[in-house]
Structure 1
């Protein structure tokens, strides 16, 4: 099963390495990982999706709590949370068919961020299922390149 963790850590060199090393040394796979500073520049938030069973997940969280550089761990797996991902698609697009690709982007509220001679680069944000649907549609035109950020998440409401 995939678990979604939001981990508040010190914004210092080596913290990312210690957290990921702790998880990988125990034989668990990190499906997605994003890290960025927070509103407090001394802290960073790691959003981690880890594949584990229930016992393994409990082991991971207990070990993370022992790290001095970890301040708070939030399990968002079953909580109501706002989840988003960013993707850039570079889609093959001849000038004659360019309007079709732009129409698809507009339907998904994505935007064209670069126009090449035979390609369009499109930026989109949303849930994984939305981005997967866009990818399926763009495949018929030919995806030259694709980059996804991984999921970021935040609990809903005043928490």
Structure 2
């Protein structure tokens, strides 16, 4: 079996209902787990940008990109290795407020991890952290020993190190 690599998949699409189901089905049919997914506006007006993280062989990745691009609403799909992208994830933790005042270590953990406190009230406080997956995993492990009330993590957001000429491509397609 070919070597598994973590890829960041970037898909530029029209914003249509049902497209997520069809794209996820492409991965599902091949028994490939999508580790994270993020959908947002892109640098191009009326174009949605999806960022997906998957672990598979390059041969599988090329086939999947081909399948994704066959979807009518997909404008263009790309895949990049970890080394070719600059990426971040975000997370928020909800913790009991008394921990903030009674556990000195919590304040040190927040400071050392470059996290920030978003809100504090009598019942709870919320911490936000953006960074690499490993940084967020570490903060989770450190805070988990004190008890986390709620935790939410975003999918990866990413840009490529090399220029992506998608805007130029789209301009050419529109003429």
Q: How does 1:60-79 map to 2 (within 5 A)?
A: 60-79=64-83
Partner residue, 1:113: 118
Question: Is 1:134 aligned to 2:132, yes or no?
Answer: no
Aligned mates of 2:133, 2:118 — CA distance in 1: 20
1:48 is aligned, of 32, 52, 58, to 52
Partner residue, 1:82: 86
Q: How does 1:147-158 map to 2 (within 5 A)?
A: 147-158=152-163
Q: SS in structure 2 opposite 1:76? A: strand
User: Aligned-residue CA RMSD in angstroms?
Assistant: 2.0
2:127 is aligned, of 81, 106, 122, to 122
Based on CA coordinates, which of the two structures has the bigger radius of gyration?
A: 2
Aligned mates of 2:146, 2:97 — CA distance in 1: 7
| TM-score between the two structures when normalised by the length of structure 2 | 0.80
| 1:98 Cα deviation from its structure 2 partner | 5.4
| 1:61 Cα deviation from its structure 2 partner | 1.2
1:9 is aligned, of 7, 13, 18, to 13
Relative distance call for 1:58 and 1:146 in structure 2 (3 A) is: same
Q: Greater share of helix residues, 1 or 2?
A: 2
Gaps of at least 5 residues in structure 2 are 165-175
* Residue-pair matches, total: 159
Does the CA contact (< 8 Å) of 1:85 and 1:125 recur in 2?
Answer: yes
Aligned mates of 1:10, 1:60 — CA distance in 2: 19
Q: SS in structure 2 opposite 1:31? A: strand
Aligned mates of 2:33, 2:140 — CA distance in 1: 24
Gaps of at least 5 residues in structure 1 are none
Relative distance call for 1:71 and 1:150 in structure 2 (3 A) is: same
Partner residue, 2:170: none
